[in-house]
Amino acid sequence: MKFSPFIRSLKSIFTSTTFLFSIPALGYFVNNNISFLILTVMNPPTFMVLGNLKIITTGLIYNIFLNKKLNRIQWISLLMLFLGSIISQVHFSTEGKPEIMTSPFGLLLIIIFSCISAIACVYTEYIMSNRFKNESIHLQNIKLYLFGILFNGLMYYFSTISSFNKKLMSNNNGFFSSLFPIHYLIIFSACSMGLITSAIIRYSGSITKLHSNSMAMFFSSFMSWIFLDNYKPNILFFVGALLCCFSLKMYNNSKVENKKK
C-alpha cells in the first residue's frame, strides 16, 4: 500500500522518545504567554530590540550544554549586540537627562523570556539535529506541536472553569465565536513562523534563527510608527539597531571564516 510508510511514521509518534519533545514545547508555551504580557508593558519595537538578548543567553547555553565554543570575534559581536540593545532604549527627558524607556518589570520579563527561549532553542536543535537527525522534520514538527496543543488546551480548560470565565463563556456560542479576522491572521502568521523556525533550527542552528528574528526589529519599528500614535522612534533607536546589525554581520562572517579553515 502506498500509505504504508505514512502509517508507519504516524505509529512512530507514540514512543517513549516522543516525550523529549515536551521539554521545548513547554518552553515555547511559557514564552508565548510571557510575550503577550510583555507587550502590555512595552511597545513592539522595544520588545523586538531587547529580545536580542536571547542571542547572548543562547551563546552561554551553547557553551554549557552543547559545548559549542564561540571564538573571540563571535563573543565581541554578542557583546556589541547587547550594547546596541541598551542604546536603542535610551531617550532623553525634557530636562535632558538620559532615561531607559523600559520599566524594571519589563526588563525582568525580558530576562526570563530570553533564558527560557535560549534553553528551548538549544534543546530543540539538540533533538532535531543531533538526537533524531535522520528523522523527518515534518514528523518532528508533529511531535513538537502535539505537546503545544496539549499545554495550551489544558490552560484553556482550567481558565474556563473559573467563576469569572464561566460568565464570559456563557455568552459565547462556541470556541471560535469570539474570533475576528485579525485573530485568524495572527494564528496563520504564528503557525507559519513556527514551521519556518523549525527548519532554520534543524538546518542552520539556534543562533541563526535568533539573528533572523532580530532583523524584524526594523519592520516592527516601521509598522508601529505607522499604526501606533504613541510611538515615535528617536535617533538612538536606529543607532542601536544598526549596531545590532553590524554585530550580526561580524558573527556570520566569523562562522564563514571558520568553515573555510
Q: Is residue 185 in some structural domain?
A: no
Q: How many domains does the chain have?
A: 1
Q: Is residue 217 in some structural domain?
A: yes
pLDDT category at 98 given cuts 50, 70, 90 is low
pLDDT category at 116 given cuts 50, 70, 90 is very high
CB-based contact 191:203 (threshold 8 Å): no
* 108 compared with 208, residue with greater pLDDT: 108
User: How far is C-alpha 140 from the geometric centre of its chain's CA atoms?
Assistant: 18
* 31 compared with 16, residue with greater pLDDT: 31
What value, to the nearest 5°, has the Cα angle with vertex 112 and ends 165 and 125?
A: 105
Residue 112: is its pLDDT beyond 90? yes
Determine the average pLDDT of the residues in 107-134: 87
Task: Please state, for a pLDDT cut of 90, what percent of the chain lies above it.
Answer: 4
Minimum mean pLDDT among 6-20, 59-73, 132-146: which range?
Answer: 6-20
pLDDT category at 71 given cuts 50, 70, 90 is confident
pLDDT category at 101 given cuts 50, 70, 90 is low
Question: What would the pLDDT profile of 77-95 be if each residue is shown by its tens digit?
Answer: 878 877 877 777 666 666 6
pTM of the model: 0.71
Q: Is residue 60 in some structural domain?
A: yes
Q: Is residue 157 in some structural domain?
A: no
Q: Is residue 58 in some structural domain?
A: yes
Q: Is residue 179 in some structural domain?
A: no
pLDDT category at 30 given cuts 50, 70, 90 is very high
Residue 89: the pLDDT is 65
d(CA 7, CA 253) in angstroms, rounded, equals 44
Helix %, strand %, coil % of the chain (to 5):
75, 0, 20
- Cell digits of residue 57: 543567553
Minimum mean pLDDT among 63-72, 102-111, 113-122: which range?
Answer: 63-72
Which residue matches cell numbers 543607532? 239
Residue 39: give the domain boundaries. Answer: 18-145+205-260
For all residues of the chain together, what is the average pLDDT? Answer: 77
Q: Is residue 76 in some structural domain?
A: yes
Q: Is residue 45 in some structural domain?
A: yes
